[in-house]
Amino acid sequence: MLVIKNKKKFIRGITIIIVFMAIIITSFAFLISGIISLFKKEEVGTVQASETQKVENDVNTVYTQNNINNTANNTVQQENTEAIATINKEDINKWNLKLVNKDNSVDRNYVPELEEISDGVKFDKRAIKNLKNMINAMYNAGITKVWVQSAYRSYAKQEELFNNKVKYYKQKGKTQEEAQRLAQTIVQRPEMSEHNLALAADFNTVTNEFEDTKAFEWLKKNAQDYGFILRYPKDKQEITGITYESWHWRYVGQEHAKVIKEKNYCLEEYIEYLKGNQAV
C-alpha cells in the first residue's frame, strides 16, 4: 500500500505534470495542423498553377488557331486575287464570256461555227453539246415540254425583228425615238444581241409564261451545271437594260456560271467582278 506523506506536494506535482502534458499535446496539435495547412497550400498552389497554365495554353491555342485562320484567309484571298487576275488576262475576252449589250456590240460579219439543234435552229458548235446535255437531263427528269424556239440569229434577222418591234410601238402612237427606245428593252438592235453570238437559247413560246413551267424551275436549280445562266433576271433590269426574260438562257461555261449563280450576278456584274471593279 502506497503511503503519501505530503499530500499537498503530491497534488502539486501531479498538476504540474498534467499541465506540462497538455502543453506538449497542444503544441503537437498545432504542429500537425501547420503541416496539414502547408500541404493544402502547396496543393492549392499546384492546382492554381495548373489552371493558370491551362488558361495560358488555351489562350496560346486560340492565338495560334487565329493565326492559322488568318493565314488561311489571306491565302484564299490571295488565290482569289490571282484567279481573278488570271481570268482577267486570259478568259475575260474569250468567246464564251463576250459581253453583248447596248454598249458592247458584235461585228455584223461575225458568224461562229454553227451546229443545228433541230428544225433549222442553230447554236455555237463549241457549246451545243452542253445545251443538248441540259435538255436531255430535263427529259430524264420527266420534263418533256421544253424546246429551243430561237438561238442563233444573223444580223439581217435581228434587224428584221427589231424593226418589227419599232413598227409595233409606232402603231401605238409612239415617236420614232420612243419606239426605238421601247423596242430595245425587248429586242436588241442588230450587233447588240446575244443571239448574234449563237450562245443564247430562247425556250418554248418566248414569253414569261415560261416562268410557270417545270422546265424553268429545273433550269433555275441546275442550268449552271451545264454552263448556262438566266441572262436577264427580274431583279437586274436596271443593270442589263433589258426587261425580265425567263425564257432567255446564255452559255458562259460551267466555271463562270456557278460563280454567277452563287453571287447572284448578272453577266454585266460578273465582268466587272473579273476586272476587279465589282465587290466580292
User: Which of the residues are catalytic?
Assistant: 245
* Signed CA dihedral, 90, 96, 102, 108: sign only: positive
Of 272, 274, 252, nearest to 97 by C-alpha is 252
What gap in Å lies between CA 253 and CA 124, rounded to an integer?
13
End-to-end CA distance of the chain: 113
Residues with Cβ within 8 Å of 242's Cβ and at least 6 positions away in sequence, in order, are 101, 185, 186, 188, 232
Taking a C-beta distance cutoff of 8 angstroms, is the pair 204, 148 a contact? no
CA-wise closest residue to 198 among 117, 255, 114: 114
Helix (H) or strand (E) holding 46: helix 7-90
Can you tell me the distance from the alpha carbon of 148 to that of 127, in angstroms, rounded to the nearest whole number? Answer: 14
CA distance 54 to 165: 77
C-alpha cell at 208: 414569261
